[in-house]
Chains A and B, each alone.
Chain A
Amino acid sequence: MKLTQKVKIKNDLGLHTRPATVIVKLLQAFNSHVTFTYRGDTINARSIMGILMLAAKKNCQIKIMADGDDADLVIEELAKAFESKFGEDL
């Protein structure tokens, strides 16, 4: 199953090293192939370097694409993580 969803970055510092680590750690529990698309660049979401390369700032949108048997769960968990600002500036 292949799903896409757009999410917004809500934490002040954007997608820096800590959120990238959170995302990669979160994905370890799933099997789906997950990619992020931002400003025309599509990267593998399991790669820290890939996420960091995007240098995505606050309030911008990222397109998440998940492909695999647990795609729906992956997207749900990722959306939650983005929504909760990765546990930052609460």
Chain B
Amino acid sequence: MLLIEHFYENYGKELGLELLAGKAGLNKRIRKPEVHRPGLSLTGYKKNLVTARVLIFGKTELEYLREMDAEIRRERLESILTESTPVVMITKRFRSPKELKVICEKNGIPLFRADLTATTLLSRITFILLEEFSPTTTMHGTLVEVFGVGVLIQGESSVGKSEAALGLIERGHRLISDDVVKVKKKEGAHLVGYGPDLTRHLMEIRGIGIINVAHLYGAVCVRPDKGLDIVVKLEEWDDRHFYDRVGLEEKFCDILGMSVPFHTLPVKPGRDVVLLIETIALNHRLKEMGYHSAKEFNSKLLDTISKRQNKRKKNEAYAKSED
């Protein structure tokens, strides 16, 4: 759901919107990410009419309305502009019919006039609404881009997430956001992480305070957003825990209904976390390219074992025939 007031504030300038009527409806919400040109509905055909969509009146609609008698015009408009209609827009700075203004004012539907043509406005608004309506969550962790792979570093407070990120930045990798990462599921198919506007590219390091990475290391070390490819969880080393030694079993975690490769990385003095994260990222790229080191090695090993077994069988068979 999107408050029309926020929509107007955030995108009004970009779309060249001008409020003509229905100011009282600015606190209404757009409930569906759908845009509609009323066209056919204006002829009086109202089957399957969904009123909760954003309506766009283009040149065709306005010309058609103009040709009608004033009374019919009012009637037809009233039948499609109900209270559940979130917002109405007129394209290309056309003049609004008087009845449209009156009905919008009466029903509290904001009526905007835009600079753009109907086709452009339609696609721009559809895109904006899909963006705004995509599921989002806030996660605790640090998002960095390592060799082109989006790595979300997670872990308890003070385990060294920010320090690891700082080390990665120093080696030429990029920071997207520290501590708080917003994650959005785009087109229902992939995850994108970004930082909240206010704390973008800021980091909090124990003993130093808040630093601005973009200012300290330059624009090359930051990125506004990045696809989230893998999650690495830093953990204090626990002697009783058995950590992955081979890498044959792959673990995944769930973010907004998508499964993301997940690695647990134990931390202890002497283990270079930065280097390890770089290795995990590179290994992920290798897997994406179709080469899985652990699986490849395992199949080679199985091959060698079976060859040896065959050889032994052959030798035994030979020995038997000799007898």
Interface pair A43/B180, CB less than 8 Å apart? yes
Interface: A14 (CB within 8 A): no
Contact with B along A56-87 (1 / 0, CB 8 A): 00000000000000000000000000000000
Residues of chain A from 8 to 60 with CB closer than 8 A to chain B in the complex: 17, 41-44, 46-50, 52-53, 55
Interface: B202 (CB within 8 A): yes
Residue from the list A17, A43, A55 in contact with B140, Cβ < 8 A: A43
User: In the complex, what residues of A have CB within 8 A of residue B119's CB?
Assistant: none
Interface pair A50/B198, CB less than 8 Å apart? no
Closest-by-CB residue of A relative to B137 is A42
Residue from the list A17, A42, A44, A52 in contact with B157, Cβ < 8 A: A44
User: In the complex, what residues of A have CB within 8 A of residue B78's CB?
Assistant: none
Tell which of A41, A44, A53 has the most Cβ of chain B within 10 Å: A53
How distant is the Cα of A41 from the Cα of B140 in the complex, in angstroms? Answer: 11
Quote the shortest CB–CB distance from A24 to chain B (angstroms): 9
How distant is the Cα of A53 from the Cα of B180 in the complex, in angstroms? Answer: 8
> A interface, how many residues as a size bin?
10 to 19
User: In the complex, what residues of B have CB within 8 A of residue A48's CB?
Assistant: 179, 204, 210
Interface: B178 (CB within 8 A): yes
Interface pair B140/A52, CB less than 8 Å apart? no
Residue from the list A17, A42, A46, A53 in contact with B196, Cβ < 8 A: A53
Interface pair A49/B138, CB less than 8 Å apart? no
Interface: B199 (CB within 8 A): yes
Closest-by-CB residue of A relative to B200 is A53
How distant is the Cα of A47 from the Cα of B180 in the complex, in angstroms? Answer: 8
Contact with A along B192-210 (1 / 0, CB 8 A): 0000101100111000001
How distant is the Cα of A50 from the Cα of B178 in the complex, in angstroms? Answer: 9
Interface pair B157/A49, CB less than 8 Å apart? no
User: In the complex, what residues of B have CB within 8 A of residue A44's CB?
Assistant: 140, 157
Interface pair A47/B179, CB less than 8 Å apart? yes
How distant is the Cα of A42 from the Cα of B203 in the complex, in angstroms? Answer: 19
User: In the complex, what residues of A have CB within 8 A of residue B210's CB?
Assistant: 17, 48-49
Interface pair A43/B198, CB less than 8 Å apart? no
Closest-by-CB residue of B relative to A44 is B140
Residues of chain B from 157 to 209 with CB closer than 8 A to chain A in the complex: 157, 178-180, 196, 198-199, 202-204
User: In the complex, what residues of B have CB within 8 A of residue A17's CB?
Assistant: 210
Interface pair A55/B198, CB less than 8 Å apart? yes
Tell which of A43, A47, A49, A55 has the most Cβ of chain B within 10 Å: A49
12 examples of A-B residue contacts, CB within 8 angstroms: A17-B210, A41-B138, A43-B138, A43-B140, A44-B140, A47-B140, A48-B179, A48-B204, A49-B202, A52-B198, A53-B198, A53-B199
Binding site for A on B (CB under 8 A): 138, 140, 157, 178-180, 196, 198-199, 202-204, 210
Instruction: Using A17-B210, A48-B204 as known contacts, list a sample of 15 further A-B pairs with CB atoms less than 8 Å apart, ordered by residue number in A.
Output: A41-B138, A41-B196, A42-B138, A44-B157, A46-B157, A47-B157, A47-B180, A49-B178, A49-B179, A49-B199, A49-B202, A49-B203, A50-B180, A53-B180, A53-B196
